[in-house]
Amino acid sequence: MKDLQLHIRPEFAQFEEAFAQALSTNHPLLTEVLGYIHSKRGKQLRPVLVLLSAALCRGITSKTIQTAVVLELTHTASLVHDDIVDNSPTRRGGKAIQEQWTNKIAVLTGDYMLAKVISLLSEIRNANILSIVSSMSKALTSGELLQLHAGQSMWISEKQYNQIIEQKTACLFAACSEAGAASTGATTRQMTAMRNYGMHLGMCFQIKDDILDYSDIEDIGKPTMNDIQDGKATLPLLISLQRASKEEAQAIREKAEALASKSKQIDRFATEQDIKSFVLRYDGIRYSEQQMQMHRKKAIEALSIFPNGKHKDSLIAMLDYAINRIK
């Protein structure tokens, strides 16, 4: 990640300062909660993406820094709300906000960050950025609802899977790259190219997350099979089910549903190993890796309208990071 910031370090430092300022408040409890959130910062890929996209187009401006803050706040708020919806006890190596405090405090903290987003957008005063962020916010909510609905049965088509992750994950990456371009006064052609790049980058990122769910726990330093235990569809399993016989597919479905229901009548470790073996046997991982490479190719094609240079190289390196990361 540090290498991705190589050519934007001064601007990234400006972002970090502006983001910390955006989280400042005079309310004691809110200050405590926001301080906790700030201490658990993740990879911060999205603000880096905003900055690199702007640098590739016409250069980073003060509006670019503000836009990066807007999108990182939106992302952070969505994670706080998602943890409540998913009943997730942890986030980024610590307790989720609702576990550290309460559901009500978590909801209101997420709402506060979204209110801050609106305030910052009013300061930026850029119609394109406003349109990008509002469309992305609607897509995030729609994707979450689609996933909740799909989770009721857990078994969906590959087309439905792509629709969910485009709206729930990839649209935020697309918004970051497109809004970064918009903050510089980029042309419509440049903004469209950056949006396409970000969408395919986001697809790579989510598919890689799906693949990592089948890794051995010691390899990635965190629990695996979480998505299946949460009743969420993953690409490696969906494809493997399509390739198996009806009888074998049904047996695996029952095992996965038993995991998702937290059944105490099964050997959880043995059941997880059965599912992992099934996915490997039907090349679910290999197929997913091929899909990542397809999206990588399309992302690089989207960048073809821009001249070669260090910022373009960094965006390609971000693709490779998304695909090759181990956690």
Specify whether the CB–CB gap between 224 and 217 falls below 8 A: yes
Q: What is the DSSP string of 182-211?
A: HTTT--HHHHHHHHHHHHHHHHHHHHHHHH
How many of the other CB atoms lie within 10 Å of CB of 257? 15
The DSSP 8-state label assigned to residue 282 in this structure reads: T
**Structural domains of the chain ordered from first start:** 2-324 (1.10.600.10)
Residue 222 pLDDT: 52
Residue 149 pLDDT: 78
Residue 218 pLDDT: 47
Strands (E), 106-198: none
Element at 90 (helix H, strand E): strand 90-91
Backbone CA torsion sign across 244, 247, 249, 255: negative
Q: Whole-angstrom distance between the N-terminal and C-terminal Cα of the chain?
A: 12
Strands 94-95 and 90-91: antiparallel
Question: What are the angstrom distances between the C-alpha of 318 and each of 12, 156, 274, 325?
Answer: 16, 30, 34, 10
Q: Tell the residue number behind the tokens 């991705």, with chain if given.
A: 4
- Tens of each residue's pLDDT in the chain, 327 residues: 568 999 999 999 999 999 999 999 999 999 999 999 999 988 899 999 999 999 999 999 999 999 999 999 999 999 999 999 888 888 988 999 999 999 999 999 999 999 999 999 999 999 999 999 999 999 999 988 888 777 656 678 899 999 999 999 999 999 999 999 999 999 999 999 999 999 999 999 999 999 999 987 545 445 578 888 877 889 999 999 999 999 999 999 999 988 888 878 888 889 999 999 999 999 999 999 999 999 999 999 999 999 999 999 999 999 999 999 988
Among the listed residues 11, 19, 15, the one whose alpha carbon sits nearest the alpha carbon of residue 117: 19
**How much of the chain is in helix, strand and coil states, percent to nearest 5?**
75, 0, 20
